[in-house]
Amino acid sequence: MRVVIAEDDALLREGLVLLLRSEGFEVIAAVDNGDELLGFIDDADVAIVDVRMPPTFTNEGLKAAAEARSRRPGFPIVVLSAYVEDRYASRLMADGAYALGYLLKERVGKVAEFTDAVRRVAGGGTVMDPEVISQLLSRRAVDDPIRTLTAREREVLGLMAEGLDNGTIAARLFVSDTAVSKHIGNIFGKLGFSAADSGHRRVLAVLAYLRA
């Protein structure tokens, strides 16, 4: 799998290169700005992009991601952020597009989870950092239906929003697939989701609800 990296922090950029190559990825370029990134998207399978890059260090990464997907619709992109900026996460997912991820940089240290997320995004999946999900959940209004979820259902909802399938959720929580299916059924019932939603559509439905 061919990867292009856009990250202005030289140490993190080189660390990503070494990590990804050690995990079997082919890093075709590692640049420090969005403009250079755009020159490599035609040759890459997925891009890893920092939110804040030169010259203003605000949202250049998001702008570069939007331009990349304008030039190459559906191009898979994992956006990295130093800390939770849910307005950026919401903006990234606002169009309901697939093959997108939003992760905190600290997630890179959890190599297996990080590389799995990159592969899922490259395969068309949607991945949201669990800490972003946690903060979005905690900000719901008192009378919001999400407040009726049990602690376990909230855990399952967060893992669903990360793009994980039922089997992986079951393994993470050390429960059976049947238990996960039951929890998801309860969640969908309480939040008014259609039981027919599955896979990527299910993730987007969860994210849409959390953004509301």
Find the domain containing 122 and state its range. 2-129
Q: What is the CATH number of the domain that holds 61?
A: 3.40.50.2300
Q: Are residues 88 and 148 in the same domain?
A: no
Of the chain, the end-to-end C-alpha distance in Å amounts to: 35
Q: Are residues 72 and 6 in the same domain?
A: yes
Question: Quick one: pLDDT at residue 30?
Answer: 97
- Please count the residues of the chain: 212
For residue 191, give the amino acid letter: L
pTM here is 0.74
Q: What is the pLDDT of residues 182-193, one digit of tens each?
A: 998 888 888 777
Whether the Cβ atoms of residue 8 and residue 50 lie closer than 8 Å to each other = yes
Q: Single out the residue in 129, 151, 177 at which a domain terminates.
A: 129
Whether 134 is covered by a domain: the verdict is: no
Whether 28 is covered by a domain: the verdict is: yes
Question: Quick one: pLDDT at residue 21?
Answer: 97
Q: Which residues of the chain have pLDDT under 70?
A: 84-97, 136-143, 194-212
Whether 135 is covered by a domain: the verdict is: no
Distance CA 187, CA 193 (A): 8
Q: Are residues 35 and 85 in the same domain?
A: yes
Whether the Cβ atoms of residue 103 and residue 81 lie closer than 8 Å to each other = yes
Q: Are residues 119 and 75 in the same domain?
A: yes
Q: Are residues 55 and 83 in the same domain?
A: yes
Whether the Cβ atoms of residue 52 and residue 58 lie closer than 8 Å to each other = yes
Those residues with Cβ within 8 angstroms of residue 116's Cβ, 6 or more apart along the chain or in another chain: none
